[in-house]
Amino acid sequence: MPKWAMVIDLDKCTGCGDCMAACKLENNVAIVSPEQTEEGRVMFWMDMMSVYDGEYPHVKVKRIPKPCFHCDNPPCIKVCPVHATYINPEGLVGQIYHRCIGCRYCMAACPYTAKVFNWYEPEWAEEFKTCLNPDVSLRMKGVVEKCSFCAHRLQVVKEDADAEDREIMDGEYMPACSESCPADAIYFGDLENRESKVFKLSRSPRAFKELEGLGTEPKVIYLSKRE
């Protein structure tokens, strides 16, 4: 069984935010009005953390892309009352939008604040509606959603591989963010495959995981010389 994981090289990342935009388009994430954003209801599956270090004028800004970490031991699925969020054997943590009752317990339990909630019925501008991605189901108001590692792409890749009767190649299954990154800072692949780029990078001395001490075993690994 493959174990899908992401490596984000913070030394390469320029903080441009292309991954955020690509993700929003790929996954039909609702566009939230500026007033709502003010109130803290912005919806990003791929978020960007900004950390300011030091005092003015010597401020260093760190920009850190933050998707769902697809924890191997996810605190979010343990608390869901209705099996609406689950981890599959390939390590992808998914959401079942049609079953979620919207209790938001999983949001409260996620140490990475990776989930977002549909506070209102999701909305798109008229001209936008024609270019929604048909592979990703639309959400309704009152349910939780989050980064899926573009699991719909895996579906396509799997079908192709099956048809040609071969294994999935390294780099064949890529989420939108890693595909779009102009700096090539986001790698994606199979952690179980010792030949994969992701596996090699995860062994790099620069590699670290967020909040490792919690035992959630995130499958998003950062690379950085800093700190």
Partner 1 sequence: MTEEKTKTIDIDEALYRPIYETGRGFYLTVGILLMIILFAAFMYVRQVYYGLGVTGMNQPVTWGFYIVNFVFFIGISHAGTLISAILRLSKAEWRRPITRMAEVITAIVLAIGGLHPIIDLGRPDRVLNIFTAGRLQSPLLWDVTSITAYFTASTVYLYLPMIPDIAKLRDRGGKLTRFYDFLSWGWQGTDHQKKVLNRAINILMVMVIPIAVSVHTVISYIFSMTLQPGWHSTIFGPYFVVGAIFSGIAALLIVMIAFRKVFHLENYLKLIHFQYLSTLLLIMSLLWFYFTFSEYLTGIFGAEPHEMDVILYKFTGPYAIFFWSMVVFNFIIPVIVLSFKKFKTIKGILFASITVVIGMWLERLNIVIPSLANPRMELGSGMYFPSLTEWSLFVGAIAVFVLGYVLFSKFFPIISIWEIEEGREESIKEVEKRVKSYLPGPAETSD
DSSP assignment string, 43-93: --SSEEEEEEESSTTS-EEEEEEE-----SS-HHHHH-TTS-EEE-TTS-E
Distance CA 220, CA 186 (A): 10
Residue 207, SS3 per DSSP: strand
**Binding residue for ligand SF4, selected from 31, 48, 75, 157, defined by CB under 6 A:** 75
Is 209 near partner 1 (CB under 8 A)?
A: no
**Binding residue for partner 1, selected from 25, 90, 105, 157, defined by CB under 8 A:** 105
Distance CA 174, CA 122 (A): 26
Instruction: Kindly report the three-state secondary structure assignment for every residue of 188-206.
Output: EEECCCCCCHHHHHHCCCC
Query: Which residue's CB is nearer to partner 1, number 84 or number 93?
Result: 84
Q: Detail the DSSP E strand segments found in 138-178.
A: 144-145
Is 221 near ligand SF4 (CB under 6 A)?
A: no
Is 31 near partner 1 (CB under 8 A)?
A: no
Is 112 near partner 1 (CB under 8 A)?
A: yes
Look up residue 143 and give its two tokens: 């349910």
CB of 176 to ligand SF4, least distance (A): 17
CB of 125 to ligand SF4, least distance (A): 27
Distance CA 128, CA 25 (A): 10
Is 15 near ligand SF4 (CB under 6 A)?
A: no
Is 114 near ligand SF4 (CB under 6 A)?
A: yes
**Binding residue for ligand SF4, selected from 19, 22, 100, 174, defined by CB under 6 A:** 100
Residue 68's binding partner among partner 1, ligand SF4, none (Cβ under 5 to 8 angstroms by kind) is: ligand SF4
Backbone phi and psi for residue 152, each to the nearest 5 degrees, phi listed first: -65, -30
Q: Per CB under 6 A, which of residues 136..165 are in contact with ligand SF4?
A: 144, 146
Summarize as ranges the residues that interact with partner 1 (CB under 8 A).
36, 39-42, 47, 49-51, 64, 66, 75, 78-84, 99-105, 107-109, 111-113, 116-121, 140-144, 210-211, 214, 216
